[in-house]
Structure 1
Amino acid sequence: MTIPASNPLNALNFSGGPGVLPDVVLQQVQEAIQAVPGVGLSILGISHRSDWFAAVVSELEDNIRKLMGLPADYRVLFLQGGATQQFSMLPMSLLAGSTEPADYLHTGYWSGKALPEARKVGPVRVLWSGESCRFRQLPADDELDFNPQAPYLHYVSNETVEGLQFHRVLGRDDVPRICDMSSDFLSAPGDYSRFAMIYAHAQKNIGPAGVTVVVLRDELLANAPDDLPAFLDYRAQIAAHSILNTPPVFAIYVVLLVTRWLLQDIGGLAEMDRRNTAKAARLYGALDASHGFYTGHAAPADRSKMNVVFRLPTPELEAAFITEARSAGFSGLNGHRSIGGIRASIYNGLQLAAVEKLVDFMDGFRRRAPAP
């Protein structure tokens, strides 16, 4: 089946993941499934040991460093297991044998998932938890007492489920910052060289499921244990340029295409952020202008540009909203199973026109909805 440009089913995909990919990337992927330009083989049948794939990995490493403004001492890895594997792999390298606890922030669903995995390896201190406010806001600077002796600080920059996003860099410059950026990776420029390690599974902003990008500074691994399984040892993965075992060739190639799109079509992360900011402003503006019919989950100062989470006055209205939205061609608007409600994810590949259509639908639904 040929995928037309501006496929309406793709164009109105507000899913929390996998997210929508740009039309130009989808067209290139379709071509590559038949035959990669210049190679003649399907992307699904090209060897991970080929010179062509080694060049793909090399270019992708360079593209990510360029987009993030990182120097050469940052390594870029393309691993498997999603962010979930990083919840374990990270403490195995940095926390095992430590007498000082690592600092963790518990700001939502996914940061909560990281905690028990780290505790299996070493001591953990929860620096701040949003449980008491039902994860509706993020901590202010004066609520955070960072330990200068901590082996590292770990936090999630954007909580996908609750729609919360840090708009600043946290922590001390003398303690390694580790950040799960799975749902806002490559969505905006930032001072990324202040982080010792960043990781992000691809299926939100930069590709399909199956590959996780890890960016880390060389010196971070100076004291990592020597008895780690090779697959779970960042140093072994670095030495193999992410080809220690059979990697997800297809998924990595799609991420390469997305980085080319960001560099060549979009023009870099500053322009991507301008577009993402416009989408978020339009959608949050609709919530705020609804006279309480649509109520945002996150505190205004902590609103995510990637995931707009909101409720309607009753569960019955929420169910009707989802049903009617689906009939109108929208997909992926169900809130996460842990909190319910509605979630509109507006990742890089989603166009402003799609947000405008959603806002029009929301306005129409509100006007015809019965009083709760």
Structure 2
Amino acid sequence: MTACLLLVCACGQAPERAPAAEVTPEPLPAEEAAPVAEEPAEAPAAAEPAEPALPPLAFPEELRFPPGDFTHAEILDAIGRTPSRQFKPVGTTSVVFRMRLRSEHTAAFKPRSRQHRAGHLKEVAAYRLARMLALENVPPATVRRVPLGRIRDRMHRRYDDEETWEEIRDWVLVEGSGQLPGAAIYWIPAMANLRLERPEAMREWRPWLTLGEPIPEAKRALARDLSRMLAFDYLIANWDRLSGGNMSGLEDGSRLLVRDHNVAFAAPLPEEVHARVLGRLRFAQRFSRAFIERVRRLDREALERALRGTEGEEEVGEPLLGPAQIAGVLERRRVLLSYVGALIDEHGEEAVLAFE
């Protein structure tokens, strides 16, 4: 402030005066020179300890698919590499095969089709994002190419007729090399339709995700799964979850298994679809602390790293998601974190991040 005042005085217009004669002071004798005391230098302010830098977000090393018999890495290796031995059509609204393998595991094979040209890519993209976010209850999925002739040769005998085969061949989109690209998705051996999308079921479980409402201890793991599902579906813009048949889980009903993502990642996302998935996100006021922490660390680099998958997986040959789809995920991430942050500001972190 003093410097500013001096500058104003120096620059302000004042009446002209005759310059005073310069007077050169005589120097004092050395022995009479007054000592100048140096002011002690101010101690630098103590720097706040910097928070340790977090390593880049990466796939968890030990992620086990419920109920926990196999890791995701073991399942991915089996469904991506093990030779096939039989194909059985099982789709009701799209082309899907149960692909039996020469291993203890089985896969669903969702090929590229006229109905869902990019459906197989969306399935793999959704899984890789889920794995990056440590969602152990999303079935492993990977890209796989199968020669069309091999499917014909190994077709289940019940469907081994020319009429069925012609219908299948008309639906699928084969590469020039005769290979049929698709998504190999873990076939869950023991699964039940929990029918949690029904109104009476929703009246039961929605209070578990509402602040201030009790959560039965026996339902706590299921409540966490539901909360993570709603947030994940918002991230990937999956509007189809509550349409029926997409709320399956373990046979004892203790865990939810989050699958079927071939209509996710619409870009541009229609306003009415965004309103639908955002409305469902707001069913949840309680969230998993570990999940939200990983969402906070999910930047563009981490997302692109997730979409590349792991070493040894078959090359996709085309991007799983385009630039607009990636931008959509990151924008919905921002909205999700803003929503959770507002709840924390009002109700406190312990109440909102109620699940591990």
Give TM-score, length-normalised by structure 2. 0.26
- Higher relative contact order (CA closer than 8 Å, sequence separation 6+): 1
Mark the structure with the bigger radius of gyration. Answer: 2
Give TM-score, length-normalised by structure 1. 0.25
